[in-house]
């Protein structure tokens, strides 16, 4: 494995990207953090600072206090709506125009990839923009404008028009399984790619953390883009240490001009 934290980028890596036919980009919280969205494990602020986010992200928490949980997720959705895609999001969207096939897999629950121009994003952990009924699981497409954080933390969730049940955030909570179809598509793409970019992810959340390892075992080149170097121990790995919003545009310029 090789690490590079200064330019110019290694020609061997640039050449691998130029000839790649099937590229997978796997993104985590670090990409959205560069747009100002706090990571899930960051300390909460303001009205929410006395709450543990881990304790709010469970089905049991929603059943116990749906207004509290819905209010917190609406606050998070407001943060996302105020944020803008950063150069990393835009570079990934541009890369899709430069290679024959690109699959974008994300652990993030925001829509910044879509707003940057990436279609058909595989959301492993769900989306804040796709709530559904807690009881019958039908999608709910009538989200209102989210509350300002100073307007209070509790907010009664809307009701499902089909069964009357409370509408829940469309994210994967602790204790829940990842969407089977999304996970299957992600694993298949990793096993079939010839180059995988792992961007802004800690590699600690399973089963999603298996994705780079699957690509590596299948013979793909794996590139880690993170402020801190990361490794799986394979010979076909590269570390691009630094911010994704700087390293990804630089890699595209080096490979495609």
Q: How confident is the model at residue 9 (pLDDT cuts 50, 70, 90)?
A: confident
Active site residue 224: no
Tens-digit pLDDT profile for residues 13-35: 999 999 999 999 999 999 999 99
- pLDDT at position 50 is 62
Is the pLDDT at 147 greater than 70, yes or no?
Answer: no
Question: Domain 1-36+85-126+178-257, CATH 3.10.450.50 — does that match?
Answer: no
The CATH class, in words, for 38-82+132-168 is: alpha beta
Please name every residue paired with 205 in a beta bridge, in sequence order, or none if there are none.
Answer: none
Q: How confident is the model at residue 156 (pLDDT cuts 50, 70, 90)?
A: very high
Catalytic residue among 89, 125, 135, 224: 125
Is the pLDDT at 195 greater than 90, yes or no?
Answer: yes
Tell me the pTM.
Answer: 0.91
Residues of the chain with CATH 3.40.50.1220: 1-36+85-126+178-257
Is the pLDDT at 1 greater than 60, yes or no?
Answer: no
Phi-psi region of 140 (alpha: psi -120 to 50; beta: other; left: phi over 0): beta
Is the pLDDT at 48 greater than 60, yes or no?
Answer: no
Residues of the chain with CATH 3.30.1600.10: 38-82+132-168
């Amino acid at each position: 494995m090789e690490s590079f934290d200064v330019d110019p980028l290694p020609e061997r890596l640039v050449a691998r990207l130029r000839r790649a036919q099937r590229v997978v980009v796997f993104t985590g919280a670090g990409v959205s953090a560069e747009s100002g969205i706090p990571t899930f494990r960051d300390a909460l602020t303001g009205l929410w600072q006395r709450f543990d986010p881990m304790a709010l992200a469970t089905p049991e928490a929603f059943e116990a206090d749906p207004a509290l949980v819905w209010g917190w997720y609406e606050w998070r959705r407001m943060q996302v709506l105020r944020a803008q895609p950063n150069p990393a999001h835009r570079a990934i969207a541009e890369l899709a125009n430069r290679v024959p096939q690109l699959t974008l897999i994300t652990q993030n629950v925001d829509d910044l990839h879509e707003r940057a121009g990436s279609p058909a994003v595989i959301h492993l952990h769900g989306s804040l923009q796709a709530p559904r009924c807690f009881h019958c699981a039908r999608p709910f497409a009538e989200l209102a404008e989210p509350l300002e954080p100073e307007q209070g933390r509790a907010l009664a969730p809307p009701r499902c028009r089909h069964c009357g049940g409370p509408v829940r955030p469309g994210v994967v909570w602790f204790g829940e399984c990842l969407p089977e179809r999304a996970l299957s598509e992600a694993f298949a793409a990793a096993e079939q790619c010839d180059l995988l970019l792992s961007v802004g992810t800690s590699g600690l959340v399973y089963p999603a953390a298996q994705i780079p390892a699957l690509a590596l075992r299948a013979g793909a080149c794996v590139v880690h883009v993170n402020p801190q170097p990361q490794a799986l121990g394979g010979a076909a790995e590269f570390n691009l240490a630094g911010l994704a919003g700087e390293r990804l545009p630089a890699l595209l310029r080096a490979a495609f001009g």
